[in-house]
Every structure is written in C-alpha cells, then in structure tokens.
C-alpha cells in the first residue's frame, strides 16, 4: 500500500490525514483518474481495527468493494490485498468479492449489479484465488436459489438444480419422489406437501473425498426446503408471506456447502439431504388436529400447520440417521422466535452434544459469522408432549418457541451427535447492507466449509 501511495504522490496519506479515509470497516473511498498508476479508478477499502480483523471482516470488506464497483459495467477489476495476509484470508477476500458483485435482481431488465468481465488478484497465489472462487460460487449458488421466485423454485426445480450440481462436480445423487417417500413411510413430510399441486422431493447427495472408501459418512448435512410457506390452513398474514420464498434457505445452504466441499476436493465423506415441499392450502391440505406418523414411528398431533418445517425435517433426519453418520448438522429457517431472541444477524445453535456444537461454534468464529448456542434443558421436553399422540408440533404457547422446536427435532436423531442451526434471521436480508444487496445471504456456508476444513493456519 505504501508503494501505491508513493506512486500517487502521497495522496492517500493526505486523504487519511484530512479524515477522508478513516479505515472504518467496509468504508469505500474512490479516487478517480489517479495520476501515477494505470488504473482509471482506485478504491480504498477500510478493514476496521487491526485487533478486530477476522475472516468475516475481510469477506465483507471485499464484498463491499465489489458491490460498489459492480454498480457499473467493468471490463476488468484488480484487487490488491495486504501483503501480510495468509492464504485463508485471501480465500475469504476472493469469496467476498465474488459475492459482492452479484445482486438479487435476477428478474430486472436493468441490473443494479453487473459482475466484472475479469477479476484479477494481484500478488495472490493462484491456488488461493481458485479456492476462494469455489467458496464464492457456493455462496452465490445458495443466494440464487433463495432469490428465485417461488413459481420458479419448487421441489422438482430444486431437485433439478441439485442434479445439475451433482453432475458437474461428480457427486452421487438420489432423488425420492412421492411414491418413494410413501414407501419409506415419510408421513410427516408427505402431510405437509398435501396442500400443494407440486409434489414433494427428497434429495440425497453423497460426496466421498480423496482416499475415502465405502462406509458411514463422517458428516450429514440436513436442510429444510419449504420452497414456499403460506402457513397452510394456519394461514400467514399477507405481509408475513412476502418473504416466504426464503423458507428453503436451509436446503439451499446445504446444497451450496456440499458443492463447495466437492469443488475444493476436501478429504471427507459427507452426505447432504434436503426435504423439499410447498406448504399450501389446497383441498387435501393437512389440518389442525391431524395425527401424523413420522418415519421413525412417532405419532405427531398437529396444533399449527405453520409449524411445518420441523415436520419435514423429522423424516429427513431419520433418513440420514439410518446412514449412521458421525454427526448431523441441520439448517433451517425454522422459527420467528429465534429472531425475537437473537435478531436478524445471529444464528441460533441447539445441540445434544456439546463437543460437536463447540466445533461448529469455533468454525463460525473463524469464519466471522455470529452464532449463539441456546439451552436444551430437559424441562422443555414436556412442552411438546401431546394428550392424544406421542408429541405435538408446537410447544405450550409462544415462550421459548425456538427451543421447543429444537426439542421436537431432537426426537428424531437418537444418540447421533446433532446440532441444529436456526437461520431464520440471517438467511434473508430485507434491506441492503454495505457488502450485499437484500435477499438471500448464503449465511453459514463459509462456517460449514471451515468446519470441514479444520483449523486454518495462523493468521496475522
């Protein structure tokens, strides 16, 4: 950076002295037609306080720069990172830039964001740029699926997207249709789908990394894929329905994650399972008071048809449990209650195994994605007990709703180490941020990939 400042005749130093450049995280200060360098424009991006610099700050700062520049068509854009950065830091910067230049305006004739013709990373190892590009691709895949209109993104459409990803990356894939789901006794998932004219699907993807042989997967990723949630007969208000195309963000997250793991050729055996339904109000819609039988044999009394995601996940969790994975992680836009507790930017974690949860917390901290573990005390268990069935699909009243939803899911994982991620808040942004347009965020893809990769090298 000192060399650039010198080439510019010290203009950057003067701007900093005058307070025009503050270094605040994600601050973007343009210098137009700078004399002394070949670039037509120079954009200086702030990283905040050095002691607070982590992969999340780097990712967001690079995304903020790309978002700013992508407001116009650019033939080529070159990025220059701090020379002291580690390769892992460079990877997340590359991913951030790839994400920042892509908006949510899929259907607009005049795009607000235009990806650069060529992105150049100066003085960066080619392998780090390649890995960061794969990471950005996985996040953008997740974002695009969430941002698609519900008439374009329905269960079969999602399965088709997953099949295309699997074919491109050499991932094994199996898609269960409604006949197979019935044969497999997935009564809870099938009940949710009954009100829609579009049939449900269950997508199961299996990636075996280099050196991995036949056997149980080390990790199972499970995603809630309610491609549109009207609330069913417990109908949502119109305003609450507006963002419900994002109710498949958990499934999109897991597809983006396994795609990234495969693209990076990580040495791990992973299965990803995504339960896909629409929750609608057709003549066959399931009803309040119905008693469903889940795949594991538990009977479930329905008290609210808008508590449908846990019913979908119940059967999918039982399917992957049968594969005997080393651990299960599910992601779901499950409860508004989690947003009440933690706001829009923090994901809630719920687990039956502290060691497994701690590893995910550490990975999220490394990635710079905020998460918070919530309690799973036994005294919540009676709240989901039913008088007429084994359990019911909501707790007693509104209090602790995110926890009682997790306690419901816990009934379907047995003794397998399991962590549930409630991404209802951070999965979808109603408003733009400096580093991203509104819409799907791709949250937790970076954290889950970091979990699989293990501890990064020491950063400086």
Structure confidence by residue, pLDDT tens digits, 335-377: 999 999 999 999 999 999 999 999 999 999 999 999 999 999 9
Q: What is the mean pLDDT of the chain?
A: 95
Out of 29-43, 107-121, 211-225, 310-324, pick the least confident: 29-43
Rounded average pLDDT over 245-251: 98
pLDDT recorded at residue 35 = 82
The string of pLDDT tens digits covering residues 43-85 is 999 999 999 999 999 999 999 999 999 999 999 999 999 778 9
Calpha distance 161→200 (Å, rounded)? 15
List, as one string, the DSSP characters of 114-156: ---SEEEEET--HHHHHHHHHHHHHHHHHHHHHHS-TTTS-HH
Cα atoms in the 13 Å half-sphere on the side-chain side of 118: 6
pLDDT recorded at residue 255 = 99
CB atoms within 10 A of CB 378: 7
pLDDT recorded at residue 450 = 98
Contacts of 407 (CB under 8 A, 6+ apart): 376, 380, 381, 383, 384, 395
pLDDT recorded at residue 150 = 98
Q: Are 334 and 405 in contact (CB under 8 A)?
A: yes
Calpha distance 144→348 (Å, rounded)? 23
Choose among 119, 56, 125, 123: nearest CA to 93: 56
Helix, strand or coil, per DSSP, at residue 229 = strand
Calpha distance 30→431 (Å, rounded)? 24
Facing residues of 285 across strands? none
Question: Token pair for residue 412?
Answer: 């379907």
Question: Token pair for residue 338?
Answer: 């989690």
- Cα distances from 149 to residues 120, 145, 152, 196, 199, in angstroms, run 33, 9, 5, 16, 17
Q: Give the pLDDT band (50/70/90) at residue 7.
A: confident
Choose among 440, 364, 451, 437: nearest CA to 142: 440
Calpha distance 336→403 (Å, rounded)? 11
Calpha distance 202→414 (Å, rounded)? 21
CATH code, 2-122: 3.40.220.10
Taking 50 as the threshold, does the pLDDT of residue 460 lie above it? no
Rounded average pLDDT over 175-193: 98
Taking 90 as the threshold, does the pLDDT of residue 195 lie above it? yes
Calpha distance 251→332 (Å, rounded)? 7
Taking 50 as the threshold, does the pLDDT of residue 171 lie above it? yes
Q: Give the pLDDT band (50/70/90) at residue 456.
A: low
Contacts of 387 (CB under 8 A, 6+ apart): 301
Calpha distance 53→205 (Å, rounded)? 35
Which residue do the tokens 């990712």 mark?
Answer: 59
Rounded average pLDDT over 204-211: 95
Helix, strand or coil, per DSSP, at residue 191 = helix
Which residue do the tokens 């816990």 mark?
Answer: 410
**In this prediction, what percent of the chain has a pLDDT beyond 70?**
98
Calpha distance 420→221 (Å, rounded)? 10
Rounded average pLDDT over 381-400: 96
Which residue do the tokens 């037609």 mark?
Answer: 33
Taking 50 as the threshold, does the pLDDT of residue 415 lie above it? yes
Calpha distance 26→66 (Å, rounded)? 11
Which residue do the tokens 């889940």 mark?
Answer: 294
Residues of the chain with CATH 3.40.220.10: 2-122
Which class for 458: exposed (0-12), middle (13-18), buried (19 or more C-beta within 10 A)? Answer: exposed
The string of pLDDT tens digits covering residues 256-308 is 999 999 999 999 999 999 999 999 999 999 999 999 999 999 999 999 999 99
Q: Which residues are catalytic?
A: 236, 310
**What pTM was estimated for this model as a whole?**
0.96
pLDDT recorded at residue 211 = 85
Query: Degrees (nearest 5) of the Cα angle 231, 234, 236?
Result: 50
Residues of the chain with CATH 3.40.630.10: 137-453
pLDDT recorded at residue 455 = 58
Taking 80 as the threshold, does the pLDDT of residue 457 lie above it? no
Question: Token pair for residue 199?
Answer: 């049939």
Calpha distance 350→354 (Å, rounded)? 9
Taking 80 as the threshold, does the pLDDT of residue 152 lie above it? yes
pLDDT recorded at residue 3 = 78
CATH code, 137-453: 3.40.630.10
Sign of CA dihedral 52, 56, 58, 62: negative
**In this prediction, what percent of the chain has a pLDDT beyond 90?**
90
The string of pLDDT tens digits covering residues 310-334 is 999 999 999 999 999 999 999 999 9
Sign of CA dihedral 230, 234, 237, 239: negative
Beta strand pairing status for 291-293 and 371-373? Answer: unpaired
Q: Give the pLDDT band (50/70/90) at residue 228.
A: very high
Which residue do the tokens 């396994």 mark?
Answer: 258
pLDDT recorded at residue 360 = 98
Cα atoms in the 13 Å half-sphere on the side-chain side of 361: 13
Choose among 369, 370, 365: nearest CA to 455: 365
Q: Give the pLDDT band (50/70/90) at residue 37.
A: confident
């Amino acid at each position: 950076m000192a060399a650039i400042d010198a080439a510019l005749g010290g203009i950057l130093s003067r701007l900093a002295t005058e307070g025009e450049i503050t270094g605040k995280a994600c601050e973007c200060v343009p210098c137009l037609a700078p004399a002394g360098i070949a670039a037509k424009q120079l954009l200086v991006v702030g990283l905040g306080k050095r002691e607070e610099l982590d992969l999340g700050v780097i990712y967001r700062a690079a995304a903020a720069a790309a978002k700013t520049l992508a407001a116009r068509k650019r033939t080529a854009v070159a990025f220059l990172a701090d020379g002291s950065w580690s390769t892992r830091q460079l990877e997340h910067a590359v991913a951030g830039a790839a994400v920042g230049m892509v908006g949510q305006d899929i259907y607009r004739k005049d795009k607000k964001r235009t990806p650069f013709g060529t992105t150049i990373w100066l003085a960066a190892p080619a392998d780090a740029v390649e890995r960061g590009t794969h990471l950005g691709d996985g996040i953008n895949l997740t974002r695009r699926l969430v941002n698609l209109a519900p008439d374009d993104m329905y269960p079969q459409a999602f399965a088709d997207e997953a099949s295309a990803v699997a074919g491109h990356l050499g991932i094994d894939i199996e898609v269960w249709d409604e006949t197979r789901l019935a044969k497999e006794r997935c009564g809870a998932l099938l009940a949710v789908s009954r009100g829609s004219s579009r049939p449900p699907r269950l997508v199961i993807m299996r990636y075996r990394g280099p050196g991995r042989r036949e056997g149980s997967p080390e990790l199972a990723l499970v995603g809630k894929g309610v491609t549109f949630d009207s609330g069913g007969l417990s109908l949502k208000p119109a305003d609450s329905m507006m963002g419900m195309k994002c109710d498949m963000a958990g499934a999109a997250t897991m597809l983006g994650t396994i795609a990234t793991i495969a693209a990076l050729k990580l040495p791990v055996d992973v299965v990803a399972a995504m339960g896909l339904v629409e929750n609608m109000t057709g003549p066959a819609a399931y009803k309040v008071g119905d008693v469903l039988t889940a795949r594991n044999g538990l009977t479930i009394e329905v008290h609210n048809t808008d508590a449908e995601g846990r019913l979908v996940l119940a059967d999918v969790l039982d399917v992957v449990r049968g594969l005997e994975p080393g651990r299960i992680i599910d992601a779901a836009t499950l409860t508004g209650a989690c947003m009440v507790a933690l706001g829009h930017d923090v994901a809630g974690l719920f687990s039956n195994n502290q060691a497994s949860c701690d590893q995910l917390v550490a990975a999220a901290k490394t990635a710079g994605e905020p998460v918070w573990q919530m309690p799973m005390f036994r005294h919540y268990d009676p709240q989901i007990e039913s008088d007429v069935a084994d359990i019911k699909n909501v707790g007693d009243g509104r209090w602790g709703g995110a926890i009682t939803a997790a306690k419901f899911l816990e009934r379907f994982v047995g003794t397998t180490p399991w962590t549930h991620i409630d991404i209802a808040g951070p999965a979808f942004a109603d408003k733009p941020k400096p580093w991203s347009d509104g819409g799907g965020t791709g949250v937790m893809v970076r954290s889950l990939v970091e979990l699989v990769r293990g501890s990064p090298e020491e950063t400086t």
